[in-house]
Structures are given as C-alpha cells and as structure tokens.
Amino acid sequence: MSTAPSPAGTDATTHDERPLVSILLIAYNQERLIADAVRGALAQTWQPLEIIVSDDASTDGTYAAIEAALRDYRGPHRVSARRNEQNEGITAHLSRLAGLARGELLFVAAGDDVSAPERCGRVVEYWLAHEKRFDLIATDLVDIDDTGRVHERIAPDGLDAYRSFDDWVARRPHLIGAAHAWSKRLFERFGPMLPGAMAEDQIMTFRAIVSGGASSLREPLVRYRRGGLSRKRRYRSVDEFVAHKRRSNLFGLAEVRQLQHDADIAGLGERMRAVLAPKLAREAFIERMFAAEGVGARVALIARSRDVPAGLKLRMFLYTTCSPIYAPLLWAKRTFGK
C-alpha cells in the first residue's frame, strides 16, 4: 500500500469544525477507465478529505494505472492506494474500506464513474444543513457512454418518501449506489456487510431507512458510465448463460441473509422473516434445483415445492435439464439485439 502524507490538521475536528469525509473508490479490471475516476476524486473541492483507492485483485493493469494516476499528486487531500490479495466482491470490499476510513461521511465511488468536483462539498453541506441526521444521502447522476460523452440525467427514486420499514416493504426503491454517501455510524451499528451480495445499494439503503433516515439531493453529481453491472448481457454460450443464473441465485441468497441480519439488529427480525419468506423459498428452490443430480431428483423436487410459482419451476427445469434449447434465443440476441 502506498500512502501520501496527511496534510496538517485533517482530523474531523479541525478546519473550523468541518467534518472529515472519505471517498471509497473501488476498482476491478478497469485499467482503461480508473484514471478518470481517480482524477474526479482528487479534484474534490471539499476539505478535509480522505481518499482511499482500492483494487479488488484485478487481473489486468488496474493497480498500476492507479499508482500512475496518483504518482504526481501534491494536493491537500489525504490519499492512499491499496489492493486486495484475493478478490472479495463489492460488499466485502466496501466493508473493508469502511473499516479503514476515518471520515464521518463515506462516499462510494466506482472505478468506471467520475465524481463532479463539487460532489463531496454539496453533499456535506446538505448533511450539515440537516444536522447530520441522515445516514444515507443519494444524488442524481449523468449518463456517460464508454467514450465519456454525456447523455441524459438519471434520477433514481427519491428516498425522502421512505420513512419506515413499512415504506420499504411497500415498494423497494430503484437505486444507483455509485451516487451514495453513508454515515460512518451505519457501520458502527450494523457492522460490515456479509460477503456475497451483488451490490451494496439496497442493503445500505435499508439500514439507513430503519436508522437515521435516507434522503435524496437532486443534483447530478456523478457521471455514471453505462455498461457496468446494469448492462445488457450478450451471452456467448448456453453454459455462460446458465452460470449467470447460478451466480444470480447466490447473490440473491446473500442479500436475503444480509437483510435478515440487519433487520434482526434493528428489532424487525420477525417482520422481515415474513416479508422475505417468498423470496427465500424461490432462491432456496433454485439452489436445490442446481444441486440436484438427475432428472428424477429434479422432478421430485418440483413436485414437493408447493410454495414456488409454476413458471419458475418450468424455467428451472429447462435451465438444469434442457439448457441447449436456449441456444437459438441467445444467438438471436447476440446477432440482432441492440
């Protein structure tokens, strides 16, 4: 790990009581794009600021690109670069960085996105104006393509309408975690996220809603690179397609475990168990179907799984037993899909 010297007076109690905040910039196999993300972090106007740039055991030259982007930095921010020896995944990686960070407010930054220079400043001002009450603040974003060309503004669901567990149950919000900032106290209350979930956004938003609250600052402060986790996939083979379904199942099970864990801490365990029961039944059925050996075992599992929709049973039978029938559909998507 390489660390730039900390400028004098960067504790949270200095700079006329301006809080120290941290950017958690995570990267994985983003050699070509990471320099833009680093430059966006270094250009932040808020002080005092700590920036942690972390590579999740990339297999390309991402870490070398991080070192190159930081090499000549002589600005006011406290900057460190690190890399994991083994790939941890998004939730474990961000939790590790949250444990290292010293800031009161933690900004998520992805290695293929770019923060506007005023991002931290505007969010901190908003947080202070509300007496640090909120545990999560989300901003709007601007869509950019692979070349960096700017497209339309992206406005995820407003979080101010979510004031309770019941609000969250009624309709889980559409979120983009790359534009989120969390209070450090969320981790002090709930602890690190469990490894294995696909993303952190729903997990951290739930934590905030049942704690100090979540809010949306309607300003486009992150340039969001299309083609990340939300991109449309073009599977090269049926095996790749089925492997994706298996990974999605593991992600789903991990998210269920995390939400139940956090609800237990918040005193909402029994209510959450009832809410998650249908999803848990589906994900457990999928897991068992992939693990079952032979057509007979799968048919028997389908017959005794009365709490699973018929459509899911059919799809899982096809995925696990007759997956080659998807080959023409995948070819058509690769050939004609937009």
Q: Residue 65: pLDDT above 80? A: yes
Each residue's pLDDT tens digit, 73-109: 999 999 999 999 999 999 999 999 999 999 999 999 9
Nearest to 156 by CA among 170, 167, 169, 143: 143
Each residue's pLDDT tens digit, 199-224: 999 999 999 999 999 999 999 999 99
223 beta partners: 114, 142
Give the model's pLDDT for residue 227.
Answer: 62
DSSP string for 22-81: EEEEEESS-TTTHHHHHHHHHT---SSEEEEEEE---SSSHHHHHHHHHTT--SSSEEEE
Each residue's pLDDT tens digit, 299-323: 999 999 999 999 999 999 999 999 9
DSSP state of 4: P
- The CATH fold assigned to 2-225 is Spore Coat Polysaccharide Biosynthesis Protein SpsA; Chain A (3.90.550)
Q: Residue 330: pLDDT above 90? A: no
Each residue's pLDDT tens digit, 128-145: 999 999 999 999 999 998
Rounded CA separation 137/127 (Å): 8
Give the model's pLDDT for residue 228.
Answer: 54
Q: Residue 8: pLDDT above 60? A: no
Q: Are the C-beta atoms of 179 and 107 separated by less than 8 Å?
A: no
Residue 78, C-beta contacts closer than 8 angstroms, at least 6 positions apart: 4, 6, 7, 10, 48, 49, 50, 51
77 beta partners: none
Q: What is the percent of the chain with per-residue pLDDT over 70, rounded to a whole number?
A: 93
Each residue's pLDDT tens digit, 245-284: 999 999 999 999 999 999 999 999 999 999 999 999 999 9
Q: Name the residue with higher pLDDT: 144 or 330.
A: 144
- Residue 117 — very low, low, confident or very high, per pLDDT cuts 50/70/90? very high
Tokens 């740039």, residue located: 53
C-alpha 199: how far from its chain's center? 4
DSSP state of 5: P
Rounded CA separation 198/90 (Å): 7
Give the start-to-end residue ranges of the domains of the chain: 2-225, 238-336
Number of neighbouring beta carbons within 10 Å of residue 37? 26
Q: Enter the tokens of residue 302.
A: 């389908």
